[in-house]
Amino acid sequence: MKILLISPKSTIGGLESLRSGNQILQGLLYVAAAARDAGHKVTVIIADKDNIDKYIRRYQPELLALSCVTSTYPIVRDLLIQVKKDHPQLKTIIGGHHATFMYKEVYEDTGVDYICRGEGEEVFPQLLAELEKGNEYPEIMGMVFYKDGRFWNDEKIVIMQDIEHLPKITRDLTAPEFSFSPKIVSSRGCPFFCSFCSISAFYSGAYRKRSVETVVSEIKEYIEWGYQDFWFHDDNLTVDAAWMNHFCDVVEREGLNFTYSCMSRVDTICRNPEMFSRMVKTGCRLVSIGIESGIPEVLERMHKKIDVQQIKKAIRIMNKVGVTHNWYMILGSGDEYDTKEYLEQNIRFFCSLPLGYILISILTPFPGTELFNKLKAENRIRHYNWEEYDILHCVYQPLGISHTEIEKLLPKAYVRVYLSKGWRLIPLLIDSMRNSTITPAKLAIAIKTLFITRFFNKDFTKMLKKPD
């Protein structure tokens, strides 16, 4: 079959809009590669309703396949509605976290033919095979469709048992005008259950790893193609210290020369400081870590399973091993700790720490999460304008402060935590310019945005949207 796969062209993406250009969602590339391996003709593009016709004319697909996160769902929704009207013969399918959890609403909004609930690499080719045989309503768990007044195949989210042999993502999957940079996935899922994160709900706590040998051979192949810098998309690359140490062994033994960034956790860093030194020696240049809050009760409620002492220790280790580190902070807790005093206490905590980069977001109840279910049950979700689920808006009703006050606090918190660094801002900026984490142009945008929103009371979120 001829399949056109679409990653939404978004102006939304929070601080990501400081990066240039759009990115094709990695999950979509995996399902594209799986379909290609099953013998289908696939092309991946970035599009929205305004330019989709151009691509439909160019590629003449029989099936449109889409992916999105919650904040970009409105883009694919509008695209689907238009395609259903203008090209009623075209079959359509959508997947990703948002579609998985909100499949009923997605169908009602768009009339999409199929919704993939879960991982698509196995079930998508199965659906394609059935469609080629003329069977439009196959029994494939996770490949949801609506027929005779009810949904079929929707009982559970499908997760693969084994991710050792994921399909290979190659340059030729994407249309020539879009940029390509390989990302590495060594594991999927996460054994933790943070209340605000949709990973645990999506993967039901399942955590699967690929062998070091397979991951290294994939990296070697990408190096041969001319790539040197890789981003591990694992939710937490370092969960399994034995795996990570073995990875470092193999990279050292084979003398491989590349750089990589990854995500980790405070507790893992505290338990394995030497492992992080080894990771730096094998090319790790950026580690991102969620702290979220310095208020013990909030960490507890979030099931973050870390404490303030560990946070301080992990920061010391990161500063010592000499890697660039990026920490996440959340404004808001969703419960009685949403007061001016506690929010102030959290900002002061972050100001007091010798952190590297800090990314601050407003607590957002993503569908499927414990937080979403709790706030929904308490009738405290303010609205379902999904484009505002971008971690820059407060979409829930806080208990002890107004949602607008939390939103106004975001740029102020940024200014305060960065200015609190004092002279340490200078080496941080030099480091970020050197490793291209931030370019002079992006820095100028960031300073201008923070300055204008802070002193001229402009809307921070609008300032961050990408120009068309």
Binding site for ligand SF4 (CB under 6 A): 190, 192-194, 197, 199-200, 235-236, 265, 290
Tell me which of ligand SF4, ligand B12, none is bound by residue 407, counting a contact when its beta carbon lies within the kind-specific cut-off of 5 to 8 angstroms.
none
> For ligand B12, which is the closer residue by CB, 278 or 407?
407
347: three-class secondary structure by DSSP: helix
Rounded alpha-carbon distances, angstroms, from residue 291 to 20, 27, 304, 362, 421: 27, 26, 8, 14, 17
d(CA 308, CA 192): 18
Choose, by CB under 6 A, the member of 27, 61, 125, 290 that binds ligand B12. Answer: 27
Identify whether the C-beta of residue 117 lies closer than 8 Å to the C-beta of residue 98: no
Tell me which residues in 44-73 interact with ligand B12 (CB under 6 A): 65, 67, 69-72
> For ligand B12, which is the closer residue by CB, 103 or 124?
124
d(CA 203, CA 239): 16
Name residue 404's amino acid: T
d(CA 181, CA 179): 7
> For ligand B12, which is the closer residue by CB, 337 or 366?
366
Tell me which residues in 376-415 interact with ligand B12 (CB under 6 A): 390-391
Tell me which residues in 317-376 interact with ligand B12 (CB under 6 A): 366-367
Stretch that binds ligand B12, among 22-30, 373-381, 394-402, 442-450 (CB under 6 A): 22-30
d(CA 218, CA 168): 8
Pairing of strands 183-184, 187-188: unpaired
Tell me which of ligand SF4, ligand B12, none is bound by residue 30, counting a contact when its beta carbon lies within the kind-specific cut-off of 5 to 8 angstroms.
ligand B12
> For ligand SF4, which is the closer residue by CB, 240 or 459?
240
Stretch that binds ligand B12, among 55-63, 150-158, 191-199, 401-409 (CB under 6 A): 191-199
Closest CA to 100 of 454, 370, 369: 369
Tell me which of ligand SF4, ligand B12, none is bound by residue 194, counting a contact when its beta carbon lies within the kind-specific cut-off of 5 to 8 angstroms.
ligand SF4
Structure tokens belonging to residue 448? 């201008």
412 burial type by CB count under 10 A (0-12 exposed, 13-18 middle, 19+ buried): middle
Tell me which residues in 75-134 interact with ligand B12 (CB under 6 A): 93, 95-98, 116, 119-121, 124
Rule CB under 6 A: say whether 290 interacts with ligand B12.
no
Which residues share a beta bridge with 159?
none
> For ligand B12, which is the closer residue by CB, 420 or 453?
453
Which residues share a beta bridge with 146?
151
d(CA 311, CA 289): 10
Size of the site for ligand B12 (CB under 6 A): 39
| Contacts with ligand B12, residue ranges (CB under 6 A) | 10, 12-16, 23-28, 30-31, 65, 67, 69-72, 93, 95-98, 116, 119-121, 124, 197-199, 233, 235, 366-367, 390-391
